[in-house]
Amino acid sequence: MDAATTAAMLHALRDPTGVPSHPLIFQVLMVFTWIPHILFVNLTLGSALMALYAFMRRNEPHWQRLSEAMTKVAKVGVSLLVVLGVAPLLFTQTIYDPQWYASNVLSAAWVIGFIFTLTVGYLAWFTFYFKNHGEHAPAWAGWLGAFGLAMFLLDGFIMHVLSYQGLLPDQWFNWYVPHGQVDMSGTVIHAWQAPRFGFYLAMSATLFGIFLMAYADYFRSRPDRPADYLAFARRMGARIAVVGAGAQLVLLLWWLLDVPSHLGMWAHPMSWALMAFIAVLAAAVWLARTGEPGAGYRLMAMGVGMAALVAIFREALRMAYLQPFAYSAIEYKVLWDVPPFVMFLLTLVGVGGLMGGFIITAAYKSGRVQGMYEADATLRRLAVGSLTSTIVWVAAFIGTGIWIWLRNH
């Protein structure tokens, strides 16, 4: 399909009712809400692989302890990556609806399969978690864990395919009508990009390695975590992170080589900013590998920074792919609808911020003490704040509904 017809198709596929406020707001929110999603994807994939590797060596005390801990990390990680995937999903389908829905429909069987494989994979991981205690944990539980990880990887791959197919609108028609025959099965994966998917896997190694260093720093205050175990985790974390960052650099170069050169990504500042940042991160981990404990948190902050750059780079890439078809999210039709949008923002900041802040603070503080944790004044204030904001939110939500209903009667 030529560029002009593709452009016309993309514009026709947009939602005619438009978006309720400036599209830039949705674009920025999409980029920034994707950061926590990918951070937990990376953490989950890395910790799951480590849990399984350590499980195979569970007759040694450090490995056995590490396996149990990382099994728990992956268990929590999956639930968070799923919850945190919802926000970018809402924004993607608001400003990139033609791309997202066309891609989903073209591989519909995989999208539906995604739900089942994620559910079955998580159940398998949970069983592994229940059974992975002590050096005599049964080997079959490890196989279930491996199956769970395989499902998570498959789901990540499906997410990648959906993202990537959306960038190639001039090929959709050929995929839908191959050799003149309409294919409505949705069973075909039409396009994927090895370096792009590989980059996310390497990123999982980097971020997981850094996490392991921060994990060792975090538990320094706990007498039930022996110092030699924490040193073992920190050393291994540094090694994994350096190898991951090196692999990321290679895969990023390969990725850029794979992007059509006329899209100009080699000259894009984000490509070089990302490359430079990964190199600096690798150097920082390398320097911290033998130093005093305590660098883990700083490196974690750098890891979040890297994920932010990846998110922006990914969006720059999407804009470059769609530019030949005159598609720009910024030009989306706007039908201003201020009250619901204000309510959404207040919910995000008020309920999300306070409740999220409370949960994170409670988890952070309670994990640092052995045995029973007594909440301090800050945590108590956060608890009251988050509960109050939730009550106000529920009242405002239901109240607005009743008010609109009464006005229309």
Alpha-carbon distances, residue 334 vs 10, 20, 23 (angstroms): 17, 6, 8
What angle, 0 to 180 degrees and rounded to 10, lies between the N-to-C axes of helices 61-95 and 23-56?
160
Longest CA–CA span in the chain (Å) reads 72
How far is it, in rounded angstroms, from Cα 55 to Cα 324? 50
> How many residues sit in the footprint of ligand HEM (CB under 6 A)?
22
- Does the protein bind ligand HEM through residue 36 (CB under 6 A)? no
Nearest-10 Cα torsion for 57, 61, 62, 65:
90
User: Are 238 and 213 spatial neighbours (Cβ–Cβ below 8 Å)?
Assistant: yes
Phi, psi of 359 (to 5 degrees): -65, -45
CB atoms within 10 A of CB 316: 18
| Binding flag, residue 308, ligand HEM (CB under 6 A) | no
Tell me whether residue 204 or residue 386 sits nearer to ligand HEM (CB atom).
204
Measured distance CA(46)–CA(42) in Å, rounded: 6
Using the rule CB under 6 A, is 235 a contact of ligand HEM?
Answer: no
Task: Measure the CA–CA gap between 271 and 256, rounded to whole angstroms.
Answer: 8
> Which of 131, 133, 160, 239 forms a contact with ligand HEM (CB under 6 A)?
160
DSSP 27-51: HHHHHHHHHHHHHHHHHHHHHHHHH
For position 117 contacting ligand HEM by CB under 6 A, the verdict is no
Q: Strand, helix or coil at 335? A: coil
Per the CB < 8 A criterion, the answer to whether 336 and 19 are in contact is: no
Task: Report, in Å, the least distance between residue 118 CB and ligand HEM.
Answer: 6
Closest approach, Cβ 36 to ligand HEM, in A, equals 11
**With binding defined as CB under 6 A, does residue 23 bind ligand HEM?**
no
Name the minimum Å distance from CB 104 to ligand HEM: 10
1, 89, 326, 396: which one binds ligand HEM (CB under 6 A)? 89
75 binds ligand HEM (CB under 6 A): no
Q: Does 271 bind ligand HEM (CB under 6 A)?
A: no
- Which CB sits closer to ligand HEM, 33 or 67? 33
Q: Work out whether 85 is an interface residue with ligand HEM (CB under 6 A).
A: yes
Residues 138-157 that bind ligand HEM (CB under 6 A): 152, 155-156
| Residue 156 vs 169, nearer CB to ligand HEM | 156
Q: How far is the CB of 314 from ligand HEM (least distance, A)?
A: 6
- When CB distances to ligand HEM are compared, the closest residue is 85
Phi and psi angles of residue 19, each rounded to the nearest 5 degrees, phi first = -115, 155
- Based on the shown chain and the rule CB under 6 A, indicate whether residue 327 belongs to the binding site for ligand HEM: no
Phi first, then psi: give them for residue 166, nearest 5 degrees: -65, -20
88 binds ligand HEM per the rule CB under 6 A: yes
Interface residue with ligand HEM among 9, 28, 76, 82 (CB under 6 A) is 82
- Per-residue tokens: 4: 């002009």
Span from 163-171, 224-232, 233-241, 330-338 in contact with ligand HEM (CB under 6 A): 163-171
Determine the interface stretch with ligand HEM among 81-89, 130-138, 377-385, 388-396 (rule: CB under 6 A): 81-89
Find the binder of ligand HEM among 137, 144, 159, 259 (CB under 6 A).
159
Instruction: Fill in the amino acid letter for 46.
Output: G
Distances from the Cα of 267 to the Cαs of 195, 249, 263, 301, 316, in angstroms? 19, 17, 9, 27, 12
Out of 64, 71, 92, 248, the residue judged to bind ligand HEM by CB under 6 A: 92
Interaction site with ligand HEM (CB under 6 A): 34, 37, 41, 81-82, 85-86, 88-89, 92, 118, 152, 155-156, 159-160, 163-164, 166, 196, 200, 314
